[in-house]
Amino acid sequence: MRLILLAGFLGSGKTTILLPMAGALIEQSSKVVIIENEMGEIGIDGSYLAREGLQVQELFGGCICCTLSVGLVESIDKIEGLYHPEVIVVEATGIARPGDLKKTIFQYNKCIEKIDTVTVVDAQRYEVLRHALAPLFEAQIDAADIVVLNKIDTIDGQAVRDISTDIGLINPDAKLHTVSMDESSGFEALLRDVL
Amino acid sequence: MTHEHTYETASAFAGQRHLSFLEPMPIANIKEAISNLVLELTRALEVQGCTIIGHIKGRVDAGSSGSLFFNTTQFAVAPRFRGELQEPVLRAELAINIIVYGVTEAQIDRAFENSLRLILVVP
């Protein structure tokens, strides 16, 4: 079974990307289940995705890369047993370290054969977050197979190039996509890579 | 698993409130009230030393009349909405999740309660 791990800091646009991405996977006839993790005690995004018709398992009140890691492992096993999906998409909290998540899943969930990590980065707040939360920010980019620089409509072309260079220095192996979900630009190319 | 988590400096708060209106509330008014609530909340948090809004996201659930979702990551910027409500809305459940840096959970709690009182006239 394939697992897509959607990571990236709070407010970067993970849920906004997840909705059409899951839709495209379903259109490809893939059986898809979403695991939605939220730090807060109340699930907000999970109910939004469920209302859009997606199969969603919520884990809230903690982060799946540490306090809820057991819950994640159990959820994947449970989903595998109940639904036999072809793809599980895990939307991590904005403070999760995807590298830790990958290790945990590969160690305990033998049904997962492949993990693709997609890290979403907020172009609008890049400079602020890059400096204020450097260790977490870099860890999220460093663990990615694909980095999505989202909200590029909020900055100019030179800033997009500067940020792209910086991301390349943190993770030279990741494929970078620059997108604006608000303006529907760049998403199709991202989708081709993810699918 | 143990590791040093940078979110140790972040504070998380979740709140829920029942909203009831004396007469059916137009959707535009509900959106305006939520916008004002979030603007007041971010203002109060910033005054108290909040440095970064991880996110403020919430839901107004009006049952069969639908749900309105809102979120922001910025100070002094009205939230973005998605989802849909249909009139008439006489009552709804407000749920909110807040993750911010630079203030304590107790400070968020107070800021949320004060903002609710100011904007939504909660008894």
Q: What are B86-119's pLDDT values in tens digits?
A: 988 999 999 999 999 999 999 999 999 999 988 8
The total number of residues written for chain A in this structure: 195
State the average pLDDT for chain B.
Answer: 89
Show the DSSP H helices in A36-97 as ranges. Answer: 45-51, 69-83
Backbone dihedral region for residue A119 (phi beyond 0: left; psi -120 to 50: alpha; all else: beta) = beta
Please indicate, yes or no, if residue B3 is contained in any of the structural domains: no
Whole-number Cα distances in Å, A13 to A45, A152, A170? 11, 12, 21
Q: What is the CATH number of the domain that holds A28?
A: 3.40.50.300
Task: Give mean pLDDT, residues B38-48.
Answer: 97
Domain that holds residue B78: 10-120
Show the DSSP H helices in B3-122 as ranges. Answer: 27-47, 105-120
Please indicate, yes or no, if residue B30 is contained in any of the structural domains: yes
pTM for this prediction: 0.91
> How many domains, chain A?
1
* Three-state secondary structure call for residue B113: helix
Inter-chain contacts counted by CB atoms under 8 A, chains A and B: 82
List the 50-109 stretch of A: residues with Cβ below 8 A of B: 51, 63, 65-66, 69, 94-95, 97, 100, 104
Residue A91 to chain B, least CA–CA distance (Å): 15
Chain B hits for A51, Cβ within 8 Å: 67, 83
CB contact burial B15-43 (16+ within 10 A = b; e otherwise): beeebeeeeebebeebbebbbebbbbbbe
By the 10 Å C-beta count (0-12 exposed, 13-18 middle, 19+ buried), A96 is classed as buried
**Model confidence at B6: pLDDT above 80:** no
> What ipTM was reported for this prediction?
0.87
pLDDT at B119: 80
pLDDT at B7: 46
pLDDT at B71: 96
> How many domains, chain B?
1
Nearest to A68 by CA among A58, A59, A55: A59
pLDDT at A38: 86
Q: What is the CATH number of the domain that holds B80?
A: 3.30.300
Domain that holds residue A48: 2-194
User: What is the C-alpha to C-alpha distance for residues B93 and B60, in angstroms, rounded to an integer?
Assistant: 6
Chain B hits for A63, Cβ within 8 Å: 5, 7
